[in-house]
Amino acid sequence: MYSLKWIEISGTRYSHDSVVVTGTDLVSNFGIIDEIIVDELMCLYFVLEDLQTLGFSSHYHSFEVTYHTPKMYLICKPSDSLDHAVLSLYHLIALFLLCLQ
């Protein structure tokens, strides 16, 4: 097993601190890539720090998110993501915003 600094999949570059969609319940769920791992069978996994979605801000056209305390992690394959775009995380005073593309 080894760790990668980045990987490009179908034209999308994923790296440490990239934000991806992890699922949708009543609202969208997101995670920050903490590690990119390839196992001995050459399977690719993302270790994600889970973000808590607070809601959608129509003013900023962004999702408001925060970090879990204590931190929570997920492991998923890139193919598990519902949207393969990498999102941008912005810190605005007391808010963390994920802007839609």
Q: What is the pLDDT of residues 48-63, one digit of tens each?
A: 999 999 998 888 888 8
Residue 16 zone, left/alpha/beta (φ > 0; ψ -120 to 50; rest): beta
Query: What local confidence, expressed as pLDDT, does residue 2 receive?
Result: 92
**61 vs 73, higher pLDDT:** 73
pLDDT band at 85 (very low <50, low <70, confident <90, very high): confident
pTM of the complete model = 0.87
Cα-Cα-Cα-Cα dihedral sign, residues 3, 4, 10, 12: positive
- Mean pLDDT for 64-92 is 88
User: Domain count of the chain?
Assistant: 1
Query: For residue 57, how many other CB atoms are within 10 A of its CB?
Result: 14
What is the extent of the structural domain holding 95? 2-7+14-99
Contact call for residues 34 and 47 (beta carbons, < 8 A): yes
Query: What local confidence, expressed as pLDDT, does residue 57 receive?
Result: 86
Please give the single-letter amino acid code of residue 59. H
Mean of all residue pLDDT scores within the chain: 89
Task: Determine whether 101 is exposed, middle or buried from the number of CB atoms within 10 Å of its CB (0-12, 13-18, 19+).
Answer: exposed
State yes or no: pLDDT of 101 exceeds 70. no
Query: What local confidence, expressed as pLDDT, does residue 33 receive?
Result: 96
State yes or no: pLDDT of 100 exceeds 70. no
